[in-house]
Amino acid sequence: MSTVQEEAGFDVDKFIEESIKRIRELNIDKALAAVSGGVDSTTAAVLVYRAIGERLLPVFMDTGFMRLNEPEKVCSLLRKVLPTLELIDVKEEFYRELEGLDDAETKRKTFRKVFYTVLSRIARERGCNWLVQGTIAPDWIETRGGIKTQHNVLEQIGLDTRREFGFRVVEPLKELYKDQVRMVARRLGVPEEIVRRQPFPGPGLLVRCVGRFYPEKLEVLKVANDIVERSLENLDLSQWFAAIWEDDHMLDEELTRFVREKTGLDVEVHIFMKARGTGVKGDSRVYGPIALIRGNVPEDKLYRIYLYITSRRPDIAHVIYEISRRERGCYFIAIRAVITSNFMTARVAKLPLDLLKKISDKIFEKCSDVVAVGYDVSPKPPATIEFE
């Protein structure tokens, strides 16, 4: 009888066995693994741990861009498979370098620079000349295609890591897709909480702090995101989270007229002035405006309106439907929830509007600076799952 992985054309045991053999052949003296608690970096570290034992030093870098209380929670979970894991607080350095930046790619590139500067310092201090990374296939495919700078893609874009950072890179999962990584993780005994965790971008909440970054905005996002994650955790979604930006938008009269004509609905279409979002078109990356639909729209008409807006204005990267608004506050919170098997394409989860309203109420209650909450109705492609 064939196993699930054989049916999918992937033999987990053979992969593990061959990876361990290949890692041993590298003659690694001492390697550093920066583990984030995501399934990719954890699985990569555990695989190398199996191959070289305690010559692997696993560290968890608290960059400040993790979710609410996540560093402590994740570390205690990770120590079940990586008992020597060390937690290192590097928040200040990250905030200092990133504060005030607003362009998505500049933020990603700066995050990557700080990340590897800090990491190579730690590696030097600990005498490690190898770095373990949990890079998987979509990471480098998208970076090489110019869609987005994944923070962990180095060698595939021609960076000489030995010269730049003083270490060589080992990436045992670089040919795998997410579902294959999960199979490997389970076979290696990685705790189910980690295997099933939704994916989290390398630069963390930085890419959900849309536009200009500053620490106060991040703190509001952490609280709102925690509410969103908890409220949707039992719905079998692939990825769900909150993003934040300044609630600064203007009515687009032309789009509003067009959508009203097409649907007969009394809606307004606005465009955010400060926030822009990322999308994918063919093989390249686009960075475009974010539109906001305001007014009463039946759930089953939202996608149609999305199509009208983006057919008229293909430059618009994400379309958000406003769920609730109040008088005071300066931030807009967008809820994102998608269903996907490979994260290269994704559809928007059809969440009941009354559930989204309840979540908005909770956000208003806990975050006094939030003025409005919306739901992202954009599929991937042409939008990306993240906003930056």
Give the residues lining the site for ligand XMP (CB under 6 A). 139, 142, 148, 150-151, 199, 201-203, 239, 343, 380, 384-386
Q: Which of 322, 318, 300 is nearest to 309 (CA)?
A: 318
CA 148 to chain centre: 12
- Quick check: 285 and 278 in contact, CB under 8 A? yes
Task: Quote the least distance from Cβ 123 to ligand XMP, whole Å.
Answer: 20
In the complex with ligand XMP, the residue whose CB is nearer, 202 or 289, is 202
What is the rounded distance in angstroms from the CA atom of residue 195 to the CA atom of residue 176? 15
Task: Quote the least distance from Cβ 238 to ligand XMP, whole Å.
Answer: 8
Count of C-beta atoms within a 10 Å radius of residue 89: 12
In the complex with ligand XMP, the residue whose CB is nearer, 137 or 353, is 137
Task: Quote the least distance from Cβ 148 to ligand XMP, whole Å.
Answer: 5
In the complex with ligand XMP, the residue whose CB is nearer, 5 or 152, is 152
Task: Quote the least distance from Cβ 345 to ligand XMP, whole Å.
Answer: 9
Helices of type H across the chain:
4-7, 12-25, 39-52, 70-78, 91-98, 104-126, 137-144, 161-165, 178-187, 192-195, 215-231, 253-263, 302-312, 353-366
Q: Over 237-283, what HEC string results? A: CCEEEEEEEECCEEECHHHHHHHHHHHCCCCEEEEEEEEEEEEEECC
Task: Quote the least distance from Cβ 319 to ligand XMP, whole Å.
Answer: 15
In the complex with ligand XMP, the residue whose CB is nearer, 110 or 150, is 150
In the complex with ligand XMP, the residue whose CB is nearer, 224 or 280, is 280
In the complex with ligand XMP, the residue whose CB is nearer, 7 or 236, is 236
In the complex with ligand XMP, the residue whose CB is nearer, 37 or 203, is 203
Task: Quote the least distance from Cβ 152 to ligand XMP, whole Å.
Answer: 6
- Quick check: 33 and 122 in contact, CB under 8 A? no
Q: At what angle do helices 39-52 and 178-187 cross, to 10 degrees?
A: 40
Per the structure block, which two tokens stand in for 221? 């996002």
Helices of type H across 188-214:
192-195
- Quick check: 289 and 252 in contact, CB under 8 A? no
Q: Are strands 31-34 and 56-62 parallel, antiparallel or unpaired?
A: parallel
Q: Please tell me whether the peptide bond between 382 and the residue prior to it is cis, using omega within 30 degrees of 0.
A: yes
Please provide the size of the chain in residues. Answer: 388
Task: Quote the least distance from Cβ 99 to ligand XMP, whole Å.
Answer: 20
Task: Quote the least distance from Cβ 103 to ligand XMP, whole Å.
Answer: 15
Task: Quote the least distance from Cβ 285 to ligand XMP, whole Å.
Answer: 9
> What region does 194 belong to: left with phi over 0, alpha with psi -120 to 50, or beta?
alpha
In the complex with ligand XMP, the residue whose CB is nearer, 109 or 168, is 109
In the complex with ligand XMP, the residue whose CB is nearer, 172 or 201, is 201
